[in-house]
Amino acid sequence: MTTVTMRGACLAHDDTGAVAQLHGLGIQQFDGTYYAYGENKVNGNLFQGVACYTSDDLAHWHNAGIVLAPRAEGLLAADTIAERPKVLRCPSAGEYVMYIHAERGDYNYAHVAVAVADNPLGPFRFLFSMQPFGNISRDIGVFQDDDGAGYLISEDREHGTHIYRLSDDYHSVVEDVVCLRGTNYRYGYESPTIVKHDGLYYWFGSQLTGWDCNDNMFATAADLHGPWSEWKAFTPAGSRTFDSQCDLVLPLPDGQFLYVGDRWQPKDLGNSPTLWLPIRIGGGQALLEWHDEWTYER
Ligand code: DGJ
């Protein structure tokens, strides 16, 4: 057993001493190693590639470089915006499939781009972009269920936020599983992420306030199709999720869970701190607790 010390809010530095560009990140564990994919925001909001970092403990990060580079022109070029990269390993093909919110330079294009690689360290190759079943797609998340089925979670303004089931090769959507608006809220929640614990799905998301933080919400269901519970906050009302926007909730050993979120600094996005906090999940409840520093055993 090793004790890992985590800092509640920090600018994670990588093994080169640079600030890890883990903004809007996704994390997956492949063959025992954590792979984090983040937005590289060193020079502002336009697309500078997807940065990848590897870690054994989620506290120390090796810089594995840019795994999806900006294209020469068109979508995902350096004059566009691309956010919230998320990678799944497709069980049937063994391929690594990246989903990423792709915009043309403002926030009106609202597509999701798909890129693939044979290796979690890339290089990822852009395949195409889409609007699932013709629906607007802004903030995204992904989820892989115990049976290997892959899901794309995608925010669609006043229609709500969708969960789409992916095809066996993870390249397309085959079912609009559910589309939810918030509780007493006219939109779906953005920065969506889902985790499963004890047979219950926990879906987290934030309200739509740009780079500003708000009280993020969660809902639960025994089936992705629903019925879903009402949405409620998982931090004290008015805490604005300890000034963060959720990226993901990740299982740790021994039934513990890690919450990762962004504390955006719109004028200096590349130095936006990341929150790494324990979140208690169980019995349909979720509670995020503040700690300057905390530990877990691995
Ligand atoms: C909120 C989203 O969650 C972020 O990823 C980013 O798109 C900002 N809006 C931009 O205002």
User: How is residue 30 written in tokens?
Assistant: 């492949």
Q: How far is the centre of ligand 1, averaged over its atoms, from the C-alpha of 165 (Å)?
A: 24
* Domain map (residue ranges) of the chain: 3-297
Tally DSSP H helices, then E strands, for the chain.
Answer: 1, 23
Instruction: Indicate which residue's Cα is closest to atom 3 of ligand 1.
Output: 191
Confidence (pLDDT) at 110? 98
Q: How far is the centre of ligand 1, averaged over its atoms, from the C-alpha of 295 (Å)?
A: 30
Q: How far apart are CA 229 and CA 24, in angstroms?
A: 26
Instruction: Indicate which residue's Cα is closest to atom 11 of ligand 1.
Output: 210
Confidence (pLDDT) at 254? 87
- Position in ligand 1 atom list of the atom nearest CA 83: 5
Kindly report, residue by residue over 24-36, the tens digit of the pLDDT: 999 999 999 999 9
> 6 with 58: CB under 8 angstroms?
yes
- Where the chain has pLDDT below 50, the residues are none
Mutate to test the pocket of ligand 1, among 153, 190, 191, 240 (most ligand atoms within 8 A of CB): 190
- Position in ligand 1 atom list of the atom nearest CA 191: 3
Architecture (CATH level 2) of domain 3-297: 5 Propeller (2.115)
Mutate to test the pocket of ligand 1, among 45, 84, 106, 153 (most ligand atoms within 8 A of CB): 84
Q: How far is the centre of ligand 1, averaged over its atoms, from the C-alpha of 261 (Å)?
A: 12
Tell me the H-state helices in the chain.
Answer: 240-243
Kindly report, residue by residue over 61-95, the tens digit of the pLDDT: 999 999 999 999 999 999 999 999 999 999 999 99
What are the E-state strand segments in 40-80? 50-55, 62-68
Instruction: Indicate which residue's Cα is closest to atom 1 of ligand 1.
Output: 210
Cα distances (Å, whole numbers) of residue 210 to 1, 34, 263, 275, 276 = 41, 29, 12, 18, 21
Mutate to test the pocket of ligand 1, among 80, 100, 139, 154 (most ligand atoms within 8 A of CB): 139
Confidence (pLDDT) at 205? 98
Q: How far is the centre of ligand 1, averaged over its atoms, from the C-alpha of 113 (Å)?
A: 16
Farthest-apart Cα atoms in the chain, separation: 49
Q: How far is the centre of ligand 1, averaged over its atoms, from the C-alpha of 91 (Å)?
A: 30
Instruction: Indicate which residue's Cα is closest to atom 10 of ligand 1.
Output: 210
Confidence (pLDDT) at 276? 97
Q: How far is the centre of ligand 1, averaged over its atoms, from the C-alpha of 198 (Å)?
A: 31
- Position in ligand 1 atom list of the atom nearest CA 24: 5
Confidence (pLDDT) at 1? 86
- Pocket lined around ligand 1, Cβ cut-off 6 Å: 24, 83-84, 139, 190-191, 210-211, 245
Q: Report, in this order, helix, strand and coil percent for the chain, each rounded to 5.
A: 5, 50, 45
